[in-house]
Each structure stands twice: as structure tokens, then as C-alpha cells.
Amino acid sequence: MKWVAIVHNDFDGTASAAVYARAVGELPTSSLFTEPTRLGKLLQGFELRDAKRIVIADLGINASTFDVILKEVKRLVSQGAEIQWFDHHVWKEEWKKTLSEVGVQVYHDTTTCGAGVVHKVMNPNDEVSEVIARADCSVDIWLHDYPLGEKLRRVIENRREFEWKRHVMEKFFRGVVWDEEFERILIETANRELKGYNGLKDYARVIEVNGVRGVVAVRWKGPPDISYASQYLMARTGAKFYASVNGKSISFRSSSIEVRRFAEALGGGGHPLAAGAGLKAPLLKYVLYKLGYRKPMLDWAVKVVEETVRKVGIVEYQKTKAQ
């Protein structure tokens, strides 16, 4: 059976495609890695070839992308495509209903990660897939309860090239979850990460909104990545939430506050504790940032975050029994 994978460009997307491949016994004929905000554009340029099954995984929907996504999946279904969509981000019920009505098979579960959804639906008895999904969920939905997840995340997201993600996917498909190559990369990445923590304070600023402390940062080069940096900065400053901008988007993290609400107010979405949205910085501030002058864009980011948090309000995260 020939199929195409369209997945998030991260550990969870890679793991989701690998778990699906193990379930059907075949790697995808092609693997497309993207971001949730770019899915509509990717589908607009997608043409069916010899593979009629399209598997979308770990890619959520938000209000700003739904219409174009709906239009394109209708087109693809009318051309004979079989579309299966596995996701764990927060969706509106009407989105699931509408997509199902046009022929998309929607598998949605917010209690797990993307790979966890695929594992539950497609291959619940596969022990290798269970290990992959558990490691992935540990870091993707901020459980941090399985050490292998911390290791694999650093290895898989060490490089952004699509070919590297495909290489990892093929290893997982063969049942290789850890080997000497991964061990070497982990050591190299950890050494760079430790050096990177020292400079984070130059990219961040502590704020306080409605009596709650937060950290706002502009993106830096190299490790640590956003999730690990956010944990470090929140722990060092006593902050309850974290926001990071790169001039094109904003990411939110927290261990106790529903930051998805902030992302939704900016047209995005995500998980309760890890979310994001597209957010373009003013051109001059972005140019200065690229030239090494961080303060103008950081000032702007602080203002955006403060206004968003005040508007939305702060809601403590309540963990469900299923989680």
C-alpha cells in the first residue's frame, strides 16, 4: 500500500510517521514535514500521484487555516484520495464534523501526543511503537516522565533537514530506537546546549502581568531549544509562563498556566502548556534583530505579550484524569 506522510517538522511528527509505517509495514513513498500554519499552503501545491492515501499527523488546525485546508482536502478527496488525520491538539468539534463529512478519517485525542494517537488507533500491540510513543509523549506534551524522550528529542531535533528526519523514521521503522549514532549526537548536542544556557539572559526579559511573573525572549542561535530554554529561564526567575519570538512566530510554554489561550488570541493554537501562533515583527525591528540589535524587537515582543495576557487573563491548567 503506497502512502504519503504529511507531518509536523519535529520529534512528534517524525515519530507519528514511523509508528504508522510500522503499523502498515511500509515506509511512505514521500514524507513532507511542515508547520501547522503552513499546512494549507502545502496542500494547495500537493498533487496526487501513485500514492492515494494521505496520512496527516501531529498537525493541528486553527481558525485562520481551516477554510483553506477544507477547500484543499475536498479537492483531494474528489480526486480519489483517502485521507487519514491523526492529531492531539485542541480542535473545535465543528472542524472534526465538517472534515468527516467530506470524507476525511479524523482520529483526535487530546490525552496523548501525535505518535500516541497513531499507536492507539493503528498498532496498539507493537512494543517498539509503544516505546517510541511513550518517549515522544514525555517531551511533546510536557510529561517529562520517560528519560528516553529527553534523549531522543535532542537527537532528532538536532538537525532540521528533512532528510535527517527521514533517516530517523527509517531507523524507527526497522525497530532501532537507540544506537551508537544517536549516542554520539546526544553527547555533541548536550555539550553545545550546556554552553548555550550561559547566554540566554541576554535574550530574555522578566515581566509581571496581573501579579504573575513571565519571561519574554527573542530567539537565539543554537541550543538549547525553546522548550529546554523555557524550563531553565522559568526555574531561574520564578516565572510561570514563557514566550519566545523569532520575528515570524511566537511560542508559549508553561508548566501551570493554559498558554494555549494566549496563542489562540493571536490566531494560533496548540497544547494547553505548549502553544504558538504566527506573529510577524515590524520590518525595521526584524532587520535590526537580524543585524544583532535585539532590544527593539524584544521591547515589541514584551508589549505584545503583556497586552495579550491582560486581554485573555490567566487560567491555571487543570490536568484531566485521562492525562
- Rounded to an integer, the average pLDDT of 207-212 is 95
Element holding 152 (H helix, E strand): helix 147-156
User: Which residues sit opposite 242 in a β-bridge?
Assistant: 215, 253
175-178 LR contacts (CB < 8 Å, sep 24+): 175/128, 177/128, 177/131, 177/132, 177/135, 177/148, 177/152, 178/148, 178/151, 178/152
Share of the chain above pLDDT 90, in %: 87
Q: What pLDDT, on the 0 to 100 scale, is given for residue 323?
A: 46
Give dist(CA 63, CA 66) in Å, integer.
6
Domains of the chain, with CATH numbers? 3-187 (3.40.50), 200-312 (3.10.310.30)
**Angle formed at CA 243 by CA 241 and CA 244, multiple of 5 degrees:** 150
Distances (CA, A) of 272 to 142, 177, 280, 283: 10, 28, 23, 30
Sheet holding 82-87, edge to edge: 30-34, 3-8, 53-57, 82-87, 105-108
pLDDT value of position 320:
56
Pairing relationship of beta strands 249-254 and 212-218 according to DSSP bridges: unpaired
Residue 267 CA to chain centroid, in angstroms?
Answer: 16
Query: Which has the closest alpha carbon to 11: 128, 126, 139?
Result: 139
Answer yes or no: pTM beyond 0.85: no
Q: Has residue 101 got a pLDDT over 50?
A: yes
Q: Which of 189-193, 261-265, 317-321 has the lowest mean pLDDT?
A: 317-321
The tens digit of pLDDT for each residue in 163-200 reads: 999 999 999 999 999 999 999 999 999 999 999 998 99
Helix (H, G, I), strand (E, B) or coil at 105: strand
Query: Which pLDDT value is given to residue 321?
Result: 45
